[in-house]
Amino acid sequence: MSADSDSQTIAGRLAEVRDDIAAAAKSAGRDPESVKLVAVSKTHPAEAVEEAIAAGQRVFGENRVQEAQSKFPDLKERYPDIELHIIGPLQSNKVKDAVAIADCIQSVDRAKIAKAIAKEMEEQGRTLKLLIQVNTGEEPQKAGIPPAEVAEFVEMCRAELGLEIAGLMCIPPLDEEPAMHFALLEKLAGQLDLPELSMGMSGDYEKAVQFGATYVRVGTAIFGARDYT
Ligand SMILES: *Cc1c(COP(=O)(O)O)cnc(C)c1O
């Protein structure tokens, strides 16, 4: 068995996920190149990220700024072409660091954070790609803009803050069929003419590709189970 078909290694699992994405894209009549894989490395050490880099992976996702700071400045120095996406809820006091370290923030979820990001991008002279997190399930405990308010929020970001919004992101409720949430996000992005759609995780990325995902965020299927102890 070649290393690339070995599901015991990060390289092998990455190859499997890439194959699955390509197959799902093809069967949906999409160009496999139109789907970008975000390897979610939260809780995993920098060595695991390096294994993925060695296997050709370039885009990574972290949901905590502090954890990202413990791994990525050094990795980015050694591998300047890697991209870091922040995919978790941001606190105001972390925006400065997030803007300094990340290339994309997928979790813009309220006006206060959008304003802080605009201010920091201006001050640091950096331009990050920005996606708005949509609370498609309208779950009270979950971050994100309610679907009915997304249009107004995007317009506020553009008109008042001068931010370019690249797309939308969602995390469907755990106990619901994700397809309806993917379909809703696709519809909203279409109405607002936003090109990027970030949806789908280890359990449902193939389905997300069917519904038009341009980013899938996959952690466990690449790096293995997370240990929070
Ligand atoms: C952790 C996380 C993922 C990856 O989840 P897996 O099920 O491990 O693939 C994707 N998106 C977000 C926002 C996450 O926090």
pLDDT tens-digit series, residues 150-169: 999 999 999 999 999 999 99
- In this model, does residue 3 exceed pLDDT 80? no
Q: How large is the average pLDDT for residues 170-191? A: 97
Q: How large is the average pLDDT for residues 200-204? A: 98
Which one, of 153, 131, 46, 149, lies nearest residue 85 by Cα?
A: 131
**Contact status, residue 107 vs residue 89, Cβ threshold 8 Å:** yes
Instruction: Please tell me the predicted confidence (pLDDT) of residue 227.
Output: 84
Pick from 201, 205, 209, 223 the residue to mutate for probing ligand 1's pocket: most ligand atoms within 8 Å of its CB. Answer: 201
Q: Whose CA is nearest to atom 7 of ligand 1?
A: 202
Averaged confidence pLDDT in the chain: 96
Using a 6 Å cutoff on CB, does residue 43 contact ligand 1?
Answer: no
Q: How large is the average pLDDT for residues 98-112? A: 98
Query: Residue 167: which residues within 8 A CB-CB, separation 6 or more?
Result: 131, 132, 189, 194, 195, 196, 197, 198, 214, 215
Minimum-distance ligand 1 atom for the alpha carbon of 38: 10
If pLDDT is split at 50, 70 and 90, which confidence band does 9 have? very high
The CB density around residue 219, as the number of other CB atoms within 10 Å, is 22
Q: How large is the average pLDDT for residues 83-94? A: 97
Q: Percent of the chain at pLDDT above 70? A: 98
- In this model, does residue 6 exceed pLDDT 80? no
The CB density around residue 66, as the number of other CB atoms within 10 Å, is 9
Q: How large is the average pLDDT for residues 80-86? A: 98
Q: Whose CA is nearest to atom 11 of ligand 1?
A: 217
Minimum-distance ligand 1 atom for the alpha carbon of 87: 13
Q: How far is CA 136 from CA 50, 110, 168, 176, 181, in A?
A: 34, 15, 11, 11, 6
Tell how far the Cα of 217 is from the centroid of ligand 1, in angstroms.
Answer: 6
Instruction: Please tell me the predicted confidence (pLDDT) of residue 1.
Output: 46
131: left (phi over 0), alpha (psi -120 to 50) or beta: beta
**Contact status, residue 107 vs residue 134, Cβ threshold 8 Å:** no
**Contact status, residue 130 vs residue 156, Cβ threshold 8 Å:** no
Using a 6 Å cutoff on CB, does residue 217 contact ligand 1?
Answer: yes
Instruction: Please tell me the predicted confidence (pLDDT) of residue 195.
Output: 98
Per the model's pLDDT, the better-predicted residue between 229 and 13 turns out to be: 13
Minimum-distance ligand 1 atom for the alpha carbon of 226: 8
Which one, of 53, 65, 148, lies nearest residue 107 by Cα?
A: 65
Separate counts of helices (H) and strands (E) for the chain:
9, 8
- In this model, does residue 2 exceed pLDDT 80? no
Instruction: Please tell me the predicted confidence (pLDDT) of residue 7.
Output: 80
